[in-house]
Amino acid sequence: MIKKLTLCFTTTVLLACCQTRPKENFDLLIVNASIVDVKSGEVSVGKLIGITNDTIRMVDNMDHENKFESTIKLDAENNYVMPGLWDMHVHFRGGDTLIDENKNLLPLFLAYGVTTVRDAGGDMTASVMGWQEQIKQRTLLGPNIYTSGPKLDGANPAWEGSLKVETHDDIKKAIDSLDLLGVDYVKMYDGSLTKEAFYGIIQEAEKRSLKTTGHMPLSADILKAARLGLDGSEHMYYVLKSCSPAQDSLTRLNIGFGMIETILGTYDPILARQVFLELGAQGFYVTPTNAVVKVLSDVSERDHSKDSLLAYIGEGIIKTYQNRVEGAKKARALGRRNLYQDILSLSTQYIPEMNRAGINILTGSDSGAFNSYCYPGESLIKELILLVESGLTPQQALKASIINGPHFFGLDDFYGSIAAGKVADIIVLRKNPLDDIENTKTLAKLIKGGKVYDIKEIHAILKSLNDQN
């Protein structure tokens, strides 16, 4: 019996040696890749990545290369391969006449490695949802889009296209309509939203498991809102309000945005730490949007007329840039304090502290019409650089984009790393971004929807789109 078994085993081994196993086939093989793992902060060299359709199917070592074959091969020798970037605060807006100009800018995100954007509300929801679908179907070149649809604001909304919400009935109707549209989250705006409506929206959205973020009426309290289920806050004003010992007396004065100067001037690091720890414990998200703050901090003095990316921006959108320039000029003439500069100089305190406290920092640029000279894609690279200037490490800044972005939408299983089963939204950089965040500017290639793009190719597409404008 033992003899028979041995014989049988020998035969099997011999057979296995003689048969050549068929090679596993992929649409695309990336060879010689140095994979940047943002979670661990490590780089693994000599890697193979197999991609079919838009999914990573295999990651292995180069010494197994002979086991695989592919239709296309991309040699990433001396390059760094990592997931695409997420811009969690952009806008598509400006009215029906600017729909095409907004659409033509979609490839610009890809030209800077931004493969996913979160639209934070505008006035062209039907178009945005159309693009969202076309990009999924690969009939349109652009980043994946998640959208809030229209913003929710009060009786006199600050932006076109917003839904007016005052009563409890309005809240139900508004959220019903967002539900029907199939939006990805709810965005609130403080043009004229009351604190009661603000809290009511959060509670109603919570019942339907819809995430909420946005601006907050300055009469409201962010800790109370977070306890009710608010998931995140856009920009820094609303979180910083709770970091001022003067917040209660300022709230009683009911002066709305008039309180911001005092809030920034009375930032209390000890109070801030308590606030951040509570928000951090709840898994709260904050999108500082310092990229737009930086542009607006000197928009009336700086000459942007030579900005190279203006070549891709349509005339209609460029016109909208004047609003904020004129506003800044007026504020300057009146001798008003430059609150944008105050926010930026405070950021070295609040950003590292929020991160230490466990708040999920998100990278959002606020690019879009009306937000002067804050260009799609490029502004997200600026946001990453500003996060590092504020005290985060390059790894922490990249985590805010690549890991926290998908985490907001519960998509951790599909994004955040180069691994089998994840979506193949991939960027190839010439230099390691963990060494220096400026290296995010060394983008050579991008993989999106199963296709490899040379960055020069995307610029050529942008140029031809703008020539049609």
Q: How many CA atoms lie within 13 A of 172 on its CB side?
A: 3
Nearest residue (CB) to Zn ion, 47 versus 294 = 294
Check if the beta carbon of residue 112 is closer than 8 Å to that of residue 291: no
Binding segment (CB under 5 A) for Zn ion, from list 195-203, 312-320, 360-368, 458-466? 360-368
* Token pair recorded at residue 333: 């003439």
153 binds Zn ion (CB under 5 A): no
Q: How far apart are CA 117 and CA 124, in angstroms?
A: 16
Q: Which is nearer to Zn ion, 34 or 290 (CB)?
A: 290
Least separation in angstroms between residue 465's CB and Zn ion is 24
Closer Cβ to Zn ion, 26 or 109, answer by number: 109
Nearest distance from C-beta of residue 96 to Zn ion, angstroms: 20
Q: What is the smallest separation between the CB atom of 89 and Zn ion, expressed in angstroms? A: 6
Site string for Zn ion, 68-107 (x = CB under 5 A): ----------------------------------------
* Residue span 104-133 as binding mask against Zn ion, x where in contact by CB under 5 A, dash where not: ----------------x-------------
For residues 416-437, b (16+ Cβ closer than 10 Å) or e, as one string? Answer: bbbeeebbbbbbbbebbbbeeb
Give the nearer residue to Zn ion in terms of CB position, either 98 or 272: 98
- Nearest residue (CB) to Zn ion, 122 versus 449: 122
**3-class DSSP state for residue 373?**
coil
CB of 383 to Zn ion, least distance (A): 13
Residue 190 or residue 425: which is nearer to Zn ion going by CB? 190
List Cβ neighbours of 316 (8 Å cut-off, separation of 6 or more).
Answer: 94, 97, 98, 101, 369
Task: Work out whether the CA dihedral 337, 338, 341, 347 comes out positive or negative.
Answer: positive
Q: Read out DSSP for 175-228?
A: HHHHHHHT-SSEEE--SS--HHHHHHHHHHHHHTT--EEE---TTS-HHHHHHH
Please state the closest distance from residue 374 (CB atom) to Zn ion, in A: 10
Give the C-alpha separation, 463 to 235, whole Å.
32
Write down the least CB distance from residue 166 to Zn ion, Å. Answer: 22
Q: How far is CA 111 from CA 216, 236, 375, in A?
A: 33, 28, 11
Please identify the residue of the shown chain whose CB is closest to the bound Zn ion: 366
Identify which of residues 405 and 449 has a Cβ nearer to Zn ion in the complex.
405
- How far apart are alpha carbons 466 and 460 in whole angstroms? 10
Minimum Å gap between C-beta 214 and Zn ion is 9
230 contacts 202 by C-beta, under 8 angstroms? yes
Complex with Zn ion: residue 120 or 388, whichever CB lies closer: 120
Q: What residues numbered 278-297 form the site for Zn ion, per CB under 5 A?
A: none
User: How many residues bind Zn ion, per CB under 5 A?
Assistant: 2
Nearest distance from C-beta of residue 40 to Zn ion, angstroms? 32
Cα separation, 173 vs 167, in Å, equals: 10
- Which is nearer to Zn ion, 36 or 120 (by Cβ)? 120
Instruction: Please state, in angstroms and as integers, the Cα–Cα distance from residue 462 to each residue in 21, 284, 369, 442, 467, following that order.
Output: 45, 37, 17, 19, 9
Chosen residue from 366, 378, 383, 425 binding Zn ion by CB under 5 A: 366
Supply the minimum distance, in Å, between the C-beta of residue 330 and Zn ion. Answer: 21
Stretch that binds Zn ion, among 180-188, 208-216, 358-366, 454-462 (CB under 5 A): 358-366
Residue 10 class from Cβ within 10 Å (0-12 exposed, 13-18 middle, 19+ buried)? exposed
Q: Which residues bind Zn ion (CB under 5 A)?
A: 120, 366
